[in-house]
Every structure is written in structure tokens, then in C-alpha cells.
Amino acid sequence: METQNAARSLASLIGKVAIIVVASEAAADPRRTLPMLTAVHGRMSETVAAGMGERDWSAMAEYTIESGEAQ
């Protein structure tokens, strides 16, 4: 069971990272910045570190609310 959960979490994380990689490659022009990509990547990393990596994108909203950073 624990191995299955770890495998699901890893697969979910790989999928999320792939999205970020594709977006980063789309911004290959060094003069272009993607501030939202940076913000999403940071929040996603925090959400995964909080143990919510196997969940969908709504976990980022939940993490933000629970962390007290929602305004």
C-alpha cells in the first residue's frame, strides 16, 4: 500500500513537472519572463512538500488557505 501511494505521488509529481518544463521551453527567449510560471512552480513545490503531491491542482488552493497565505 505504501509503495503504491509513493508510486502515485511520484507519477503525479512527474506530470506536474512536465507541465512546467513545457511552459519553460515555450519561453525560450531569454528576454521573456513568465512570472505566473514562477509563482505556480513555487506554490506547487510547497504543496508537494506538504504531502499533497498526489492530489490535483486544487491541492495548491487548499495548501494556500491552510498555510494562512490566502488574502
Buried b (16+ CB within 10 A) or exposed e, 9-39: beebeeebeeebeeeeeeeeeeeeeeeeeee
Q: What pLDDT, on a 0 to 100 scale, did the predictor assign at position 1? A: 66
pLDDT digits (tens, 9 = 90+) for 56-67: 778 888 888 888
pLDDT tens digit sequence for 9-60: 767 777 777 777 777 777 777 777 778 878 888 888 888 898 888 887 788 8
Q: Where are the domains of the chain?
A: 2-66
What is this structure's pTM? 0.51
Is residue 44 packed enough to be buried (19+ CB in 10 Å), middle (13-18) or exposed (0-12)? Answer: buried
Please report the pLDDT score of residue 56 as a whole number: 79
Question: For position 2, what pLDDT does the model report?
Answer: 73
